[in-house]
Amino acid sequence: MAEICPDIPLVASVAGALYKEHNLDFIYAFDRKEAKAHGEGGTIVGPELAGKKVFLVDDVITSGKAIRHTIDLLNVQRVDQITGVMVALDRAEKALVTADNDKPESAIQSLEREYPHMHVLSIVTLNDLILFVQEQLQEVCESDSAQKDLWAGRLASIVEYRRQYGV
């Protein structure tokens, strides 16, 4: 059984939604975890990207390592420009590479500093997720103690994650 890259449905859905909602027709490609020697070969699946402007779409940003890896792959492909990045969830983690070790920055801040022409957008941030879980906790607070415990546990886990890894 072949492993399917989770980014394929995401990028295909984004391209489909842009066409359906805004009549914008974009080509799309994705990168493989490992290069293939047969078929199309290589690590990029999709049309030729040399000389094209590229906008990256990813499900989550943690340290920014995966996005940097993709940028390196695209530079080998000689893309004209990487215009931006959209991620579904920004975990707001401390970056691996920072400008000033005394002041932590997020992975998104680090990428935008390193690539000043490239803006990184997120649909949802870790803080948005915390607010959502807090709202769910308040809604079930009076009616269902089992649900209250479930949402309280989720909230505690996410807040601890942010305390340990976040900016």
Indicate the pairing of strand 81-90 with strand 119-125.
parallel
For 72, the domain range is 48-165
- Residue 71 and residue 139 in one domain: yes
The total domain count for the chain is 2
- Residue 7 and residue 54 in one domain: no
- Residue 150 and residue 92 in one domain: yes
Joined together, the tokens standing for residue 164 give 């340990």
pLDDT digits (tens, 9 = 90+) for 1-10: 334 455 677 8
- Residue 87 and residue 28 in one domain: no
- Residue 128 and residue 74 in one domain: yes
- Residue 71 and residue 40 in one domain: no
pLDDT digits (tens, 9 = 90+) for 50-96: 999 999 999 999 999 999 999 998 999 899 999 999 999 999 998 87
131 vs 77: which has the higher pLDDT: 131
Q: Which of 36, 53, 69, 119 is catalytic?
A: 36
Q: Which of 22, 33, 38, 117 is catalytic?
A: 38
Place of tokens 């940028």: 71
Mean pLDDT score across all residues of the chain: 86
Cα–Cα distance measured from residue 81 to residue 76, given in angstroms and rounded to the nearest whole number: 12
- Residue 160 and residue 85 in one domain: yes
- Residue 43 and residue 75 in one domain: no
**Domain CATH number, residue 58:** 3.40.50.2020
- Residue 78 and residue 97 in one domain: yes
| Listed residue (23, 20, 45) closest to 33, CA to CA | 45
Cβ atoms of 109 and 96 within 8 Å: the answer is no
E-only strand ranges, the chain? 30-36, 42-45, 53-61, 81-90, 119-125
pTM: 0.81
What CA–CA distances, in Å, run from 91 to 10, 98, 107, 122, 141? Answer: 18, 17, 9, 10, 26
- Residue 112 and residue 153 in one domain: yes
Three-class SS state of 159: helix
pLDDT value for 97 = 65
- Residue 107 and residue 148 in one domain: yes
Residue 129's CB is within 10 A of a number of other CB atoms, namely: 19
Question: Quick check: is 36 catalytic?
Answer: yes
Cβ atoms of 111 and 67 within 8 Å: the answer is yes
Residue type, 16: G
- DSSP one-letter code for 94: B
- Residue 112 and residue 161 in one domain: yes
